[in-house]
């Protein structure tokens, strides 16, 4: 299927550090913790259920999710969280820092996440995106304190997934390319 790349505004470093005043635990009805390898099958089921409800093509395959997990799990430029209702994972919010193509290019950060259809309409998605953007900014400033560069936040979604497009649009992202 066709996918849409949604890109955030390039965020220059010379501004103040953007932080959230509350952790995701405080702004969502879920309990958040680091993602573990054992969570991956449940997260893929969550993605499959959301894509079925949204009638969208797959945005990430199981092997891609595992690859992102392996890339990110021990890196300082990544954050992998899972939101649980009790013991059940019902959301995830991942910030994946990518290696810059060149030294003069912006640091690219892929934002990934999903909320189970059973837990939608509780403002979890917007709070996740806000947290991810804040975490990316905080991480960028911590990793590159003397840089005058920028970071480019992006997310990928199926072109038919209007719900996800509306979410990222409301959070200040704009469609940048189709593939």
Q: Is the pLDDT of residue 9 over 60?
A: no
pTM: 0.81
Q: Tell me: pLDDT of 43 over 80.
A: yes
Residue 137 has pLDDT above 50, yes or no: yes
The total of other beta-carbon atoms located within 10 Å of residue 125's CB is 24
**pLDDT above 60 for 143:** yes
- Decide: 89 and 82 in contact? Cβ < 8 Å: yes
Predicted pLDDT at 151 = 82
* Phi (first) and psi of residue 92, to 5 degrees: -145, 150
* DSSP code at position 38: G
Kindly give, in sequence order, each residue whose CB lies less than 8 Å from that of residue 137, ignoring residues fewer than 6 positions away: 11, 17, 18, 19, 151
Structure tokens belonging to residue 148? 């005058």
Kindly indicate the confidence band of residue 21, based on its pLDDT and cuts at 50, 70 and 90.
Answer: very low
Tally DSSP H helices, then E strands, for the chain: 5, 8
Reported confidence tier of residue 52, pLDDT bands at 50, 70, 90 = confident
The pLDDT score that the predictor gives to residue 122 is 92
Q: Give the per-residue pLDDT at 82.
A: 93
CA distance 156 to 114: 12
Distance CA(27)–CA(40), nearest Å, equals 24
Closest by CA position to 50, among listed 86, 90, 85, 88: 90
pLDDT of residue 76: 87
Burial of 93 (0-12, 13-18, 19+ CB in 10 A): buried
Binned at pLDDT 50, 70 and 90, residue 5 comes out as very low
- pLDDT score at 163: 86
């Amino acid at each position: 299927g066709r996918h849409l790349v949604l890109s955030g505004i390039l965020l220059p470093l010379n501004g103040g550090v953007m932080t959230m005043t509350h952790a995701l635990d405080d702004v969502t009805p879920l309990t958040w913790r680091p993602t573990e390898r054992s969570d991956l099958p449940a997260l893929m089921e969550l993605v499959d259920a959301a894509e079925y409800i949204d009638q969208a093509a797959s945005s990430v395959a199981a092997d891609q999710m595992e690859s992102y997990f392996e890339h990110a799990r021990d890196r300082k430029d990544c954050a992998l969280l899972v939101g649980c209702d009790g013991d059940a994972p019902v959301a995830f919010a991942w910030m994946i820092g990518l290696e810059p193509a060149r030294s003069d290019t912006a640091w690219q950060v892929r934002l990934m996440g999903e909320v189970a259809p059973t837990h939608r309409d509780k403002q979890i998605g917007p709070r996740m995106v806000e947290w991810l953007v804040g975490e990316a900014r905080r991480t960028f400033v911590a990793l590159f304190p003397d840089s005058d560069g920028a970071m480019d936040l992006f997310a990928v979604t199926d072109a038919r997934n209007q719900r996800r497009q509306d979410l990222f649009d409301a959070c200040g992202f704009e469609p940048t390319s189709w593939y």
